[in-house]
Structure 1
Amino acid sequence: MMDGTFTDVGRSSARRHADLLVIGGTLATPNGVERADVACAAGRIVALGDLQHSWTADATLDAKGLHVLPGVIDSQVHFREPGLTHKETLEAGTRGAVLGGVTAVFEMPNTQPLTLRAEDLQAKLDAARGRAWCDHAFYIGGSSVNAEHLEYLESLPGCAGVKVFMGSSFGDLLADENEVLCRILAHGRRRMAVHAEDEARLRDRKVIAESSGDVRQHPVWRDASSALLATQRIVTLAGDTGRRLHILHVSTAEEIAFLSDRKDRVTVEVTPHHLTLEAPECYERLGTLAQMNPPVRERRHRDALWQAIREGVVDVIGSDHAPHTLEEKSRPYPASPSGMTGVQTLVPVMLNHVHRG
C-alpha cells in the first residue's frame, strides 16, 4: 500500500484537508495496481495513500469496487464554435470530453472564422472562459496568409501549436503547395501538426466518388497513396529546415513503414476509428456515418496500426472528434460531410481494446 503525499510549491505536506477525497478505489500507478485514496485540492492531486482517517474534504466520493484512472489529453478535436454551433458548442464538446474521461483537449482551427490570427485565438479563449468543462488549448492554422507570423502566434498563451492542412480543407486554411509549406516550416520552432493528404491527387480522383455515389468508394478516392505522398513530401520539406513534425491520424501501413525510420523528428497519432473499424464492412453497416478523412481502410492497414502501437511507433491516440448533424451526415455521398464524434468515446473504446487484449 502506498502512503505518500505530493505537495505543490507553497503547500505543506502536513495539510490534511482537501477539496475532494476519492476513497477506496483501485489505482493504476507506476508501482502497479493497488487500492489507494486520492486527495485533490485546487484541481490538483495532492496526496495518494490510506487517507480516509487522516484527511477531511469538502466532498467525498466512494470509489470502492471501481478503478480510478487519470484523465487523458485528447490531442485532436474539432469543436464547432465559432460559426458552426448548430453542430456543437464549446460547452457541449468539453462536457462530452469530461464525461468520457478526457480532461484536456487540443482544438483545431477549421472553425468559422478560421483560427489564423491572434484575434481569432483570443476569441476562442474568451468563448471558453467560464464555459469549458476541461483544460483546453487551440491550434493556429498554418497558411499562406500568416506564414511569416507563425513564430509569434505559436508562442501566444493558449496556443496548442500550428496545424497545417495539406488536403481536406478550404480557403486560406489549405496549404498544399511546396512554396507555402516551406514558408510555414521556416517560421516557428514548435513541433508542427499536419493533416497529410495530397490535395492534387484528391482533386484528380474525386470523379471516383462523384460518379459512384457510393460511400464504399471513399477509401478508393482518398487512397493510401494520397496519404503517403503527402506524408513523404512534408517530412522531406521539414528535413531542409530541421522542423519537427506531428503527423495526425495516420491511417495506412505504408505511412507507418515510412515513419518508423524517422522517429527522431516525427511523432505519430492514430485514432480509435482507424484502430476499430475496417472497410468495406463499416461502410456497409454504417453508411456515411463511417465517413471521415483520411478514410477508414481495409484490415491490413488496421493491423499495421496496431503493430505500430506494439512497437512504439505510435506516440499518441487522438479522437479526431468532428461532429455533424444527422441531417448533414444523411446527405447522399459525396455531399455528406466527413467526420465522426469521438471525444466522449476515446477512453471507453480504447479500454475495450485493452480488455480484449
Structure 2
Amino acid sequence: MEKVDLVIRGGTVVAPDRMVQAAVAIDGERIVAVGHDDLMPAGREELRADGLYLLPGAIDSHVHFRDPGYPRKENWKSGSAAAACGGVTTVFDMPNTNPPTGTLEALRLKQKAAESSYVDYGIHGLFGDDTVDRLEELLEGGVTSFKAFVGNTFGNLPAPSDGALLEGFEKLAPLGIRTVVHAENSSIMARRQQRLQDAGRNDALAHLASRPAVCEIEAIGRVLALAEWTGARVHIAHHSAADSLFVLREAKRRGVDVTVETCPQYLLLNTGDTGRLGGILRLNPPIREARHNQPLWDALMEGVIDMIATDHAPHTPEEKTRDSIWDCDCGFPGVETQMPLMLTEINRERATLMDYVRWSSVNPAKAWGLYGAKGVIAPGAHADIAVVDMARGGVLSQGRLHSLSRISPWHGRTVRGVPLHTLVRGRFVMRDGNLVEEAAGWGRSVKAVQRMPAPRPRNADSYTSAVLATPEGAPPARPLEMMP
C-alpha cells in the first residue's frame, strides 16, 4: 500500500453516537481510512495522539471578522487565526461589515479579504428590504446563506420589513437556502432604550432592561410564522432566553425547518457577572438573569437548541469600557475560547464529548449543507480535525488571544480540556498549541461542497411571484395546511 501524507495514531475518534480508539489516515485534503493501527497505510508523517481525542473540527456559524470596514477591530487573518487556535475549522461570517455584504461589489471585497483565512468559511449575505431583489445574484456570486437583522445590532442596519421577510422567504424556500435571523423586536427595544436614557439610566443593567425576553418571543414567533407559511429554512442566532424556548419547541414539533444556536456566554454567564464586567458584557441579545442558564443547557440536551456558535464580535478595549453602557460597543471575541469553555463543562459531566461533537460540528454541518464533507471523521471527508487533550488545564488570558480584540469576559477563567492541534483539509493550522503562521491563506469557501437537502416550499400559489402572474379573477390561495 502506498504511503499517505499523515497518519494519526493512538487517539480516540469521537462521533455523536460513539467513541472508538482508532487511527486516522490522511492523504491530501481528505481522510482515506479510519480503523485499527495495523490496517493503516504507512504515513510520510505520523502524529501520536495517545490519550487524546480526535473531534471533527468545530463549525462556528456566527462570527464577525469585521473586514471590510473595521480592520482596527478584526481582520480575516487575525480572526481566522483565533479560530484555528480554538479548534474551529470552518466559520460563517456575518454581513454587517462596511459596506454590508448586500451587493456583488461588497461580496467581492469580502471574498478578497477572506483570501488570508487560515480556516474554511461561508459567507452570509445581507437579507434586507434593499437586497430582496438580489438574493439569487448573491447566491450565484458565492454567498452560502443569508442573515436578517430583525433586531438591531452593530452597524445599525435597518430591520427588514415583514413584507420583505415574506417575499425573501418566498424566493429562498424553493432554493432550500437557510436564513440566519437575529430575532429581537427592534421597535420595542428602540422605545425602551430611549425611555431609559431619558430617565438617566446609563448603568450596565440598563442594556438588559431595554431588551426584555418578550422581544425574543415576539420576533421568533413572527419569523417562524412566515417560514412555516413559505416552507423557508431559518436559523435562530444566539438564542438567549428560557422564556422563548416554547415557541421553538412547538415549531419543531410541527415540522418547521428551524435550527437554533446558543453561545457559551448564555450558558455560563448571567447578571451576577455584570457588576464585575460592566460594558465588557454588553452584547445583543443581552446576558440575562441566572434563571435562563440551565434551561438553555436542557434545550441543548433535548435538541430544541441544535448547536453552539460564538457570535465572535470583536471591538477594541477602549470601545468596550466607556462610562455609559450606551456608548460601549456590543460584543466580544469568542471563537478561540468556545472549545476550552465547553470542554471544561464536559469534564464537569454536564454533557458528554459525543454531545459536544453533535453541537459543535455535526449539527452545524447538517444545517449548512456540509455534512459528509465536514462534521465527521470518516473516509472521504475533509480532514478537519481538532486533537484535544481533555486532561490539560489552563487559565484563559485575553492577552494571549489571536484576535485583535484583547478584551474578554473569560479573562482569568480556569479551563480543563483544550485543543492541541487543528487540521483544516489535512493541513496543520495549529500544532502543539501554536499557530502555524505559514498556513495563512489555506482556508477556502465551502460553497463548492455545500449541498442543501431538497427544498420543501409551501403555499407557493400565494407567493408574490404567483400573485403578480395570476390573471384577474383567479381563485385565492388555499389556506395553510398545518404540518403533521
Same fold (TM over 0.5): yes
Letter in 1 for 2:238: H
SS in 1 for 2:250: coil
Instruction: Name 2:418's counterpart in structure 1.
Output: none
Does 2:298 correspond to 1:307? yes
| Mapped partners of 1:109, 1:228: distance in 2 | 24
Cα 1:76/1:31, change in 2 over 3 Å? closer
Instruction: Name 1:247's counterpart in structure 2.
Output: 236
Instruction: Name 2:336's counterpart in structure 1.
Output: 344
Instruction: Name 2:274's counterpart in structure 1.
Output: 283
Instruction: Name 1:198's counterpart in structure 2.
Output: 185
| Mapped partners of 2:145, 2:28: distance in 1 | 27
Instruction: Name 2:214's counterpart in structure 1.
Output: 225
Cα 1:36/1:242, change in 2 over 3 Å? closer
Does 2:158 correspond to 1:174? yes
Kindly indicate whether the alpha-carbon contact (under 8 Å) linking 2:205 and 2:274 is maintained by their aligned counterparts in 1: yes
| Mapped partners of 1:351, 1:213: distance in 2 | 36
* TM-align CA RMSD: 2.0
SS in 2 for 1:115: coil
SS in 2 for 1:45: strand
Q: Give the deviation of 1:246 after TM superposition.
A: 1.0
Q: Give the deviation of 1:285 after TM superposition.
A: 1.7
Q: What 5-or-longer segments of structure 2 have no aligned partner?
A: 350-484
Q: Give the deviation of 1:31 after TM superposition.
A: 7.0
| Mapped partners of 2:39, 2:217: distance in 1 | 58
Instruction: Name 2:10's counterpart in structure 1.
Output: 24
The equivalences for 1:83-94 within 5 A come to 83-94=69-80
Instruction: Name 1:268's counterpart in structure 2.
Output: 260
Cα 1:306/1:68, change in 2 over 3 Å? same
The equivalences for 1:1-357 within 5 A come to 14=1, 16-29=2-15, 32-51=18-37, 55-129=41-115, 131-157=116-142, 159-169=143-153, 173-189=157-173, 190-207=177-194, 209-210=196-197, 211-263=200-252, 264-265=255-256, 266-279=258-271, 281-332=272-323, 333-357=325-349
Deviations 1:279-329 (CA, angstroms, capped at 9, x unpaired): 1x1211211111110011112222221111121111111111101111110
Deviations 1:41-97 (CA, angstroms, capped at 9, x unpaired): 222221123447953333322222222222111011111111111111101111111
Q: Give the deviation of 1:179 after TM superposition.
A: 2.4
More displaced, 144-153 or 30-39? 30-39
| Mapped partners of 1:232, 1:338: distance in 2 | 25
| Mapped partners of 1:342, 1:118: distance in 2 | 29
SS in 1 for 2:5: strand
Kindly indicate whether the alpha-carbon contact (under 8 Å) linking 2:129 and 2:160 is maintained by their aligned counterparts in 1: no
| Mapped partners of 1:181, 1:276: distance in 2 | 33
Letter in 1 for 2:128: S
| Mapped partners of 1:351, 1:53: distance in 2 | 31
More displaced, 216-225 or 238-247? 238-247
Q: Give the deviation of 1:254 after TM superposition.
A: 2.1
SS in 1 for 2:192: helix
Letter in 1 for 2:204: V
Q: Give the deviation of 1:176 after TM superposition.
A: 4.2
Q: Give the deviation of 1:345 after TM superposition.
A: 1.3
Letter in 1 for 2:110: K
Deviations 1:156-187 (CA, angstroms, capped at 9, x unpaired): 43x22011001224778322422232232222
| Mapped partners of 2:16, 2:220: distance in 1 | 35
SS in 1 for 2:51: coil
More displaced, 216-225 or 170-179? 170-179
Cα 1:26/1:140, change in 2 over 3 Å? same
| Mapped partners of 1:43, 1:283: distance in 2 | 44
Q: Give the deviation of 1:209 after TM superposition.
A: 4.7
| Mapped partners of 2:16, 2:273: distance in 1 | 37
Kindly indicate whether the alpha-carbon contact (under 8 Å) linking 1:208 and 1:217 is maintained by their aligned counterparts in 2: no
Give the aligned length: 340
Q: Give the deviation of 1:330 after TM superposition.
A: 0.9
| Mapped partners of 1:122, 1:52: distance in 2 | 48
Kindly indicate whether the alpha-carbon contact (under 8 Å) linking 1:278 and 1:302 is maintained by their aligned counterparts in 2: yes
Letter in 2 for 1:341: P
| Mapped partners of 1:77, 1:329: distance in 2 | 18
| Mapped partners of 1:243, 1:305: distance in 2 | 25
Q: Give the deviation of 1:188 after TM superposition.
A: 1.8
Q: Give the deviation of 1:252 after TM superposition.
A: 1.1
Deviations 1:169-208 (CA, angstroms, capped at 9, x unpaired): 4778322422232232222231211001111101110035
Kindly indicate whether the alpha-carbon contact (under 8 Å) linking 2:127 and 2:160 is maintained by their aligned counterparts in 1: no
| Mapped partners of 2:79, 2:242: distance in 1 | 31
Percent identity over the alignment is: 38
Letter in 2 for 1:343: V
More displaced, 76-85 or 174-183? 174-183
| Mapped partners of 2:220, 2:286: distance in 1 | 15
Kindly indicate whether the alpha-carbon contact (under 8 Å) linking 1:324 and 1:337 is maintained by their aligned counterparts in 2: yes
More displaced, 176-185 or 136-145? 176-185
Letter in 2 for 1:248: A
Cα 1:209/1:321, change in 2 over 3 Å? farther
